[in-house]
């Protein structure tokens, strides 16, 4: 008789497991603090790269002048 009394419990357990799996999936879609940190680091690395490029161009005025000359030729 104990078996028949607990027979409905596995059905409820299946539903709960399915609900838990859906909930875990939805939580995995949310970004975590770690994801935010990685995104910020990537953004900062891009900014550093842009600043390095600007610094390189400011130290090499010949490259900037050559770029501006070719841009002027395209305008005319």
**Predicted pLDDT of residue 1:** 47
Q: What is the pLDDT along the chain (76 residues), one digit of tens a residue?
A: 455 555 555 556 888 898 899 988 888 887 778 888 999 999 999 999 999 999 999 998 775 555 566 556 666 5
What is the residue-wise DSSP string for the chain? -HHHHSTHHHHHHHHHHHHHHHHHHHHHHS--HHHHHHHHHHHHHHHHHHHHHHHHHHH-HHHHHHHHHHHHHHH-
Where are the domains positioned within the chain?
Answer: 1-30, 31-76
Q: pTM, whole model, 2 decimals?
A: 0.44
């Amino acid at each position: 008789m104990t078996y028949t009394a607990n027979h409905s419990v596995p059905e409820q357990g299946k539903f709960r497991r399915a609900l838990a799996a859906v909930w875990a999936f939805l939580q995995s879609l949310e970004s975590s603090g770690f994801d935010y940190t990685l995104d910020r680091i990537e953004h900062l690395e891009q900014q550093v790269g842009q600043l390095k490029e600007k610094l390189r161009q400011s130290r090499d005025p010949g490259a900037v002048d050559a770029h501006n000359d070719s841009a002027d030729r395209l305008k005319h």
